[in-house]
Amino acid sequence: MNLYTKDYLLDGKIIYFQPKYGYRSGIEPIILASKAQASDLNILDLGAGCGPISLIIAYRYPNSNVIGIEKNKIHYDLAFRNKEKNNFTNLEYFNGDVGQFYDQFKGFFDLILTNPPFFFENTVIKSLNPSIRDAKYITQKKLDLWFRSLFNYLSPLGTAYIINRYENLEYMRSFFSKTLCKLTITPLLSFKGSKPKNVLISINKNEKYVEKIENDFIIHTNSSEYSKDIKNWFK
């Protein structure tokens, strides 16, 4: 019995294996991958999972150097298999802890993309499934280390993007307000007029802490279809 499914990204352009009964990719990787540009030469997928973000970027920008770090062995093995099946030579995965700092990456990345776990432990009942558990639940101490690594890996002129639960916004504000950065906040709404479920945050190193709030981003139209931007990002 297969413990994974063979799926596809970008309208069938990319083969994508992911757990059959574990954590499965949502819309977040599509949004994060859309932030990459051809000028981003060194790109980090921090907490890569099975690799949807880094796979999309490696396909779109073959001249880029894409690195994914993933601790969960189930997800790492599938990410590595995805890389091999798609013959990406500009993509490497490391089976490592994102909360551990790797000196060789200090100030190295032009772009960092991450969708870290969004439930703090002891606030909800955790799943016993190791794939779901590692993707959804984290301690605040470990998330602090995750964000600290992200900030240290970012080049002076680079940009980092984070998608997380909107309810964690104040925690993220509090963390990054202690750093020298420009924090840009974009609430993500399922529908126009709905309450934001998630939030997209961009981070740029700066001489002082500055915060900016941008207009809401709407994921679905009133007919429940994806917005025009999302549809284009799927291609």
Residue 6 has pLDDT above 70, yes or no: yes
The answer to whether residue 190 is domain-embedded is no
Strand partners, 15: 8
What does the pLDDT look like over 104-160, one tens digit per residue? 999 999 999 999 999 988 777 788 899 999 999 999 999 999 999 999 999 999 999
What does the pLDDT look like over 12-41, one tens digit per residue? 999 999 999 999 999 999 999 999 999 999
At 92, which CATH number?
3.40.50.150
Containing structural domain, residue 56: 4-177+225-233
pLDDT of residue 123: 78
The answer to whether residue 141 is domain-embedded is yes
Amino acid identity at 85: K
Q: How far is CA 72 from the centre of its chain?
A: 15
The answer to whether residue 216 is domain-embedded is no
pLDDT of residue 231: 94
- CA 9 to CA 80: how far, in whole Å? 16
- CA 112 to CA 67: how far, in whole Å? 10
Strand, coil or helix: 31: helix
- CA 169 to CA 189: how far, in whole Å? 14
Over residues 93-108, mean pLDDT: 94
Question: E-assigned strands of the chain?
Answer: 4-9, 14-19, 42-46, 65-69, 91-94, 109-114, 119-120, 137-138, 154-165, 181-189, 198-205, 210-213, 217-218
As a whole-number percent, the residues of the chain with pLDDT over 70 amount to 99
The answer to whether residue 217 is domain-embedded is no
**3-state SS track over 97-124:** CCCCCCHHHCCCEEEEEECCCCEECCCC
- CA 221 to CA 223: how far, in whole Å? 5
188: pLDDT confidence band, cut at 50, 70 and 90? Answer: very high
The answer to whether residue 131 is domain-embedded is yes
The answer to whether residue 197 is domain-embedded is no
pLDDT of residue 189: 96
Strand partners, 204: 159, 182
Strand partners, 113: 45, 161
Q: What angle do CA 199, 37, 217 make, to 5 degrees?
A: 25
The answer to whether residue 44 is domain-embedded is yes
pLDDT of residue 121: 81
Q: Token digits for 187? A: 């609430």
pLDDT of residue 99: 87
Q: How far is CA 20 from the centre of its chain?
A: 20
pLDDT of residue 155: 98
pLDDT of residue 42: 98
Global pTM reads: 0.96
Residue 1 has pLDDT above 80, yes or no: no
Cβ contacts of 14 within 8 Å, gap of 6 or more = 8, 55, 56, 59, 82, 86
175: pLDDT confidence band, cut at 50, 70 and 90? Answer: very high
Amino acid identity at 221: T
- CA 31 to CA 218: how far, in whole Å? 12
The number of domains in the chain is 1
- CA 31 to CA 116: how far, in whole Å? 14
The answer to whether residue 150 is domain-embedded is yes
CB 200 within 8 A of CB 227: no
Residue 44 has pLDDT above 70, yes or no: yes
